[in-house]
């Protein structure tokens, strides 16, 4: 999750069983780890049965970690929050889970090898590493879509940025033969969705009067993201 310094982003933990029925623990607490490593407790509010929300205050720029913990049953959920200088976090920036949904095998726990569906300290790459790619993806999509980006195009821009970030994960951590086809498809989908986001943004009154064409988008994306490693070039 990306946020501005000074924000209090609401984070909800939905506890569900295999049938999607709410799980209601005896207690739910939360802690917040600051960029300097200091840890303090954070209030947790019950939204409804099985849904718990915390809204931590992000006092400084850097990577924060919000951890929910339940008792009876015992469970834990960690949410990495990257606090950027005030005004620099785009409201449509994708979450870690959005990136992970495109490359679920990358979200496997280093400890258990089980898919987590997101990135954290127990995955490779870590949540902090993927946040860095998300920042770059957001900057790239912003440049390709055109300014300003209006609310009507937020969903498309977020989806495009998630694809670019997933593509870059595949490029940055090549460790299996499938990378070639996977990152090639991710890049093709990212370009297509960025085109769509740009069209939606212009149609909603944002962007530029004469946005770049399809060929220019390919050039921009090639500039913003590194070329494939030599041994993987198609």
Question: What confidence score (pLDDT) does residue 208 get?
Answer: 66
Domain borders along the chain are: 1-87, 90-234
pLDDT at 79: 87
Q: Is the pLDDT of residue 234 over 50?
A: no
Token pair for residue 167? 């593509």
Average pLDDT taken over every residue of the chain: 83
Under 8 Å between Cβ of 31 and 69? yes
CB 164 within 8 A of CB 190: yes
Q: What is the pTM of this model?
A: 0.63
Q: Give residue-wise pLDDT tens across range 93-122.
A: 888 889 999 999 899 999 999 988 888 888
The CATH number of the domain covering residues in 1-87: 2.60.40.10
């Amino acid at each position: 999750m990306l946020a501005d310094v000074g924000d209090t982003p609401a984070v909800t933990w939905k506890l569900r069983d295999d049938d999607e029925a709410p799980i209601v623990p005896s207690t739910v607490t939360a802690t917040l780890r600051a960029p300097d490593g200091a840890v303090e407790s954070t209030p947790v509010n019950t939204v409804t049965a099985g849904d718990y929300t915390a809204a931590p205050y992000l006092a400084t720029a850097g990577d924060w970690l919000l951890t929910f913990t339940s008792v009876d049953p015992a469970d834990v959920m960690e949410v990495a929050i990257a606090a950027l200088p005030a005004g620099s976090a785009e409201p449509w920036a994708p979450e870690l889970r959005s990136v992970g949904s495109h490359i679920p095998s990358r979200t496997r726990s280093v400890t258990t090898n089980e898919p987590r569906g997101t990135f954290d300290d127990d995955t490779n790459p870590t949540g902090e590493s993927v946040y860095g790619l998300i920042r770059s993806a957001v900057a790239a999509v912003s440049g390709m879509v055109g300014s300003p980006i209006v609310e009507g195009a937020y969903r498309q821009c977020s989806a495009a940025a998630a694809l670019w970030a997933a593509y870059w994960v595949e490029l940055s951590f090549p460790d299996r033969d499938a990378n070639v086809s996977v990152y090639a498809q991710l890049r093709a989908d990212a370009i297509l969705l960025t085109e769509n986001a740009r069209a939606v943004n212009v149609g909603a009154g944002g962007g530029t009067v004469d946005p770049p064409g399809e060929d220019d988008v390919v050039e921009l994306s090639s500039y913003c993201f590194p070329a494939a490693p030599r041994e993987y070039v198609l």
